[in-house]
Structure formats: C-alpha cells, structure tokens
Structure 1
Amino acid sequence: MNQQHFDKMKNGNGFIAALDQSGGSTPKALAAYGVPEDSYSGEDEMFKLVHDMRTRIITSPAFNSDKILGAILFEQTMDREIKGQYTADYLAEKGIVPFLKIDKGLADKENGVQLMKPIHDLDDTLRRANERNIFGTKERSVIHEPNEKGVQDVVKQQFEVAEKVMDAGLVPIIEPEVDINSSDKEKSEAMLLGEIHKHLDGLRDDQNVMLKLTIPTKADTYKPLVDHPRVVRVVALSGGYSRDDANEKLKENHGLIASFSRALVTDVSADQSDEAFDKTLQEAVDSIYDASVNKK
C-alpha cells in the first residue's frame, strides 16, 4: 500500500471524482456529454470515445490535486494511457490517488436489494490493479427498501469482497447505495448503519476500509462511521440528486466528502471549446469542494 496515498485520503481536504461508468451506463454518459449512440458503432469505438472524454477531464487544469483527492476508474480506463502513461500513473503524477471499480454490475432485485454479481476474475483484477499502481477499489450494491435480510446480505457480501481486496494490499471502498427513491430511505439508512458498524468492529487493527454512501435523510446519520478507527474516509455519492441539491445536503453532514459522478460532469460537453470546458469543469469542482470542506 502506498503510505503517501493513504495519508492523503485520510487527512486531505477535497473530494473523489467518480469516472467509472461502465457497460450499460457508458452510452448514457456519452449522450450526456453530447455524443449520441448513432455517432459510433460497436463497443470498441464506444470505449475509445469515453476514454477520450475522461482524458479531456483528467488533463484539464481544473482537474488537479488542490481540490481533488482521488479518482475512481473503470477497468478499461486503468488499462489505457493518457499522454504516454497508464491512467493511474498519470493521476498519481498530478497528486491524485487512483481507485478502480471492480464490481461486474448488479444482480436481480431480491429481498429489497440488489447484490453484486459474482466477480469471477477478482484475484486477477487485483493483481493487475497492483501492477498498474492502483491504491484502492470500489464495489457497488443497492438497497431499495428496509428489508433486514436484504441489508444484512448486502453488507456481508461487501465485506467479504473487501477482505480479499485488503489481502491484496489495496484499500476497498465499500458502496452499499441506498436508493434515493426508497420507500423508507431513513429506515434503510438506520439498518445499514448498524450492519456496517458491526462488521467494522470485526476488522483487525491492520485492516482499513473506506465507505461510499448515499447522503442520508437525517444529517450526520453516518458520523459514527466517520469516527470509526477502521474507516479511512466516508464519501458520498450523488445518487441522482442534482449537483446543487447534493452539495446542499452534503454540507449538513460533518466528516462526509463527495464522490460524485454525474453531478461532477453534468455540464461539460464534447462541443465546448477548451476554454469553456475548463471553466465549466472548474465551477463544478469548486462547488463540490466547497460542499466537502465547509459544513453548516
């Protein structure tokens, strides 16, 4: 594990950029960027275009370590280059900590939740992540309703994967997202808090995780997790909230910093000049940074 990266994630001021759209979400990400599906054919061309988009974001002067602590990458992004360097190495040179999304998507809904699909190549992925100088990983599941068994299953699976990640010398970001349209979001969050805390208490002193959680309905619900000795950082996903809404909700939660995806890049587009693109991205970075470090 890179101790310098660990210290930055533990103590630094800023937020994590989520640039890890993959598979089915890639066409949506490109469409939002102004590249419609009928402008490319086949996956190879699609993934080249999305890498071009991410390259433009990452190489922008607005995307720097003054306000961005880390970036979460899709597997293909990890294996591609930016200006002659593998993406993680380019980020690290800019002072930004690289993470890798490792889940393979969501299983069908059962007991009010969606578990992760099996990650059959996990050992190989973690080996390659180490070769590419990745610091940590991220894996996502979704809680739709406060079903006790479902929430228990989500957290159990997340920590089982996290154990393998930690054994490989990487720091896992555990992401049990609570759907913002949940029938009883606050109750789901209370259940999730209890389950996560139980599993954190079972970790050894040399094991450390990060958590990526939906901004809670009740402010500071997750403060006990922020303060837990086995937690490096608790970060928040935007979860479908607009950037303005996500920022305002985030400001109410002490110790929580952003890890936004759509809310970060929603206003940048392929047809913007470099000047307009950089200015738009800078405005987004500034507002998310402000919400991450300035609390009400």
Structure 2
Amino acid sequence: MYEEQLEFIKNGKGFIAALDQSGGSTPKALALYGVPEDSYSTEEEMFDLVHKMRTRIITAPAFNSASILGAILFEQTMDNKIEGLYSADYLWKKEGIVPFLKVDKGLAEEADGVQLMKPNPSLDALLKRANERNIFGTKMRSVIKEANPEGIKKVVDQQFETGKQILAAGLVPIIEPEVDINSKNKEKSEEILKEEMVNQLDQLNKDQNVMIKISIPTVNNFYKELIDHPRVVRVVALSGGYPLEEANEKLAANQGLIASFSRALSEPLNANQSDEEFNALLKDSVKKIYDASIT
C-alpha cells in the first residue's frame, strides 16, 4: 500500500486537499461555512459540526482521485468515521485518495521574525496512532513573517528535525515553512528560506524522502530547485489567504507546483446549500484548482 500511495503522490496529476482545521481555526472555518459560534456550546459539539462539514466535502461526487491526490486530516477527523470506515480508510479504500495527518500543536509566539512550532512531546504517540489508522504522511506548519536569517534557520532546522522523527516512524512528512503573504520582505524571506531548505535536503539519506508545502513564491518558478531535488517527493502550495481565483492564477504560473488549499477550496461552500448546489460549487472549485495544478 505504501509504495502504491508514494507513486500516486509523486507522479499523479491533481492536488492535495487540506481539511485539517484544528481547534484554534475551526470556529472561523465553521463561520465561513455558515455555522455561527452560537450554534454550539461545547468543543465536542464544534468538532461534530466540523466533521459533518468535512464528511460532506469528502463524500461529494467531485472529491475523487481523478483530481485529488491526497487529503490532510486533523487528529479528531482521523479518529472519526465516514460511512462506517475510519476517515483514512474511507479516503484510500473508497476514493483512492492518500491520507495525511496534521501533527503540530500550533504556533509559538513570534520571535526573530518567525513563529516556530510549539513543543510536541506526545508526537511519538500520535505517530503510532497514525500508523494504526493507516495514515501515509504528516503535515506541520511554521510561519515566517520577516526576512530574518537567524529566525528562518531556526524554522527550517526545527522542521527537518521533526521531519526525521516522522520518517523514523515510517511516515512521509510534509515540511511546511509558510512565508506570510503579507510580509513586507516576502521575496527576501523566500531567498533565505530556499537556501536553508536546500542545505537540509542535501543532508538527507537516500531513504529519507520528504514533501514540502510552501507559500506561492513572489518570483514565478523560484522553487524549481526544490521541486527537482531527489529527496523531495512533491512540492505543494498553500493558498495563504489569497482568494481562490488569485491563488489559482499565481499557482498556474509555477510549473510543477501543485495546490494544497484549505480555505480556498471550501470558500464557496455553505451549510445551508442544497446538495445539488453544494456539489456543483465544489465541483467547480476542484476543477479550477486541478487545472492550476497541472501546468
């Protein structure tokens, strides 16, 4: 199964759907979906509602392996079921879509122009559960806000250190050092980031292969060196706050870079839509993101 999934992610045509809103971002995701905060009173009720949202997306006709290579899940979603199967098993066995899991515990306070990941002492236990749930890979996010070489190096060092822990558990890590799209020196940050990333990639062994998730670069095709690196399975791009149309336009200008959109994917969807309207809007979004990903 692992080799089949690896081949599909590496060479398949399509994109990765990010359905991994965590506790902190879930209220906003639900609000955008038309479910206000006064619709629930406990965290359990909130997570039930967001699981219903994710289930509606995942079971929609357009959510299939003809366009979507993988889907990133939140821990609570991994432990829930869709049509009687755990979410990862539903994705792979029913849809042929490779399951990933968000494993970070959120962002630390900003220092040196960046936000590192919070400490994650329970990661090994989570990776063990991920293997039990048939998860293929993981995703973890840091944020770069300023072109601070020391801060950016810390972000990349932490990402790869954690990535090696994930590789040792038999999973494929998605390294995600996001550059804030509103940063005043975004292009300079990307220059520093790429240099640090290449340095780390060059130190990996032949059996240590990773994925990379990054902001769409300021200069088109700037990350070609990462896309072509022998230790990189695939490079995917986050929408980073760009509206769907703008994100797709920018993505399409970068050959070999594919989408891993979250908010941009679900942007037009609403809990109050009929199934017919919901499915049609999701189909339109999926097609647009797919087209931008195969340039």
TM-score when normalising by structure 1: 0.99
Structure 1 counterpart of 2:282, which letter?
A: L
User: In structure 2, the residue corresponding to 1:52 is in which secondary structure?
Assistant: helix
Matches within 5 A, 1:106-185: 106-185=107-186
User: CA separation in 2, counterparts of 1:241 and 1:277?
Assistant: 22
Matched with 1:221 is: 222
Deviation at 1:90, TM superposition (A): 0.1
User: CA separation in 2, counterparts of 1:178 and 1:137?
Assistant: 19
Matches within 5 A, 1:259-270: 259-270=260-271
User: In structure 1, the residue corresponding to 2:31 is in which secondary structure?
Assistant: helix
Matched with 2:202 is: 201
User: CA separation in 2, counterparts of 1:288 and 1:172?
Assistant: 23
Structure 2 counterpart of 1:102, which letter?
A: V
Structure 2 counterpart of 1:219, which letter?
A: N
User: In structure 2, the residue corresponding to 1:219 is in which secondary structure?
Assistant: coil
User: CA separation in 1, counterparts of 2:17 and 2:195?
Assistant: 27
User: In structure 1, the residue corresponding to 2:261 is in which secondary structure?
Assistant: coil
Matched with 2:31 is: 31
User: CA separation in 1, counterparts of 2:139 and 2:51?
Assistant: 19
User: In structure 2, the residue corresponding to 1:18 is in which secondary structure?
Assistant: strand
Matched with 2:243 is: 242
User: CA separation in 2, counterparts of 1:96 and 1:283?
Assistant: 19
Which whole-Å deviations, capped at 9, do the CAs of 1:90-149 have from their partners, x for residues lacking one?
Answer: 000110000000000000000000000011100000000000000000000000010000
Which whole-Å deviations, capped at 9, do the CAs of 1:184-236 have from their partners, x for residues lacking one?
Answer: 00000000000000000000001100000000000011000000000000000
Structure 1 counterpart of 2:275, which letter?
A: D
Deviation at 1:24, TM superposition (A): 1.2
Matched with 2:291 is: 290
User: CA separation in 2, counterparts of 1:39 and 1:226?
Assistant: 43
User: In structure 2, the residue corresponding to 1:165 is in which secondary structure?
Assistant: helix
Matches within 5 A, 1:64-143: 64-93=64-93, 94-143=95-144
User: In structure 2, the residue corresponding to 1:221 is in which secondary structure?
Assistant: coil
Instruction: Give unmatched runs, 5+ long, in structure 1.
Output: none
User: CA separation in 2, counterparts of 1:191 and 1:286?
Assistant: 34
Structure 1 counterpart of 2:35, which letter?
A: V
Mapped pair 1:62 → 2:62: yes
User: CA separation in 2, counterparts of 1:23 and 1:117?
Assistant: 15
Deviation at 1:183, TM superposition (A): 1.6
Displacement over 3 Å in runs of 4+: none
User: CA separation in 2, counterparts of 1:246 and 1:57?
Assistant: 20
User: CA separation in 2, counterparts of 1:183 and 1:56?
Assistant: 38
User: CA separation in 2, counterparts of 1:55 and 1:164?
Assistant: 30
User: CA separation in 1, counterparts of 2:254 and 2:60?
Assistant: 29
Deviation at 1:254, TM superposition (A): 1.0
User: CA separation in 1, counterparts of 2:174 and 2:98?
Assistant: 13
User: CA separation in 2, counterparts of 1:146 and 1:30?
Assistant: 33
Which whole-Å deviations, capped at 9, do the CAs of 1:234-267 have from their partners, x for residues lacking one?
Answer: 0000000011110000011111000000000000
Q: CA RMSD in A?
A: 0.6
Structure 2 counterpart of 1:86, which letter?
A: Y
Deviation at 1:168, TM superposition (A): 0.4
Percent identity of equivalent pairs: 67
Deviation at 1:80, TM superposition (A): 0.3
User: CA separation in 2, counterparts of 1:167 and 1:52?
Assistant: 33
Structure 2 counterpart of 1:145, which letter?
A: E
User: CA separation in 1, counterparts of 2:242 and 2:181?
Assistant: 8
User: CA separation in 2, counterparts of 1:183 and 1:116?
Assistant: 22
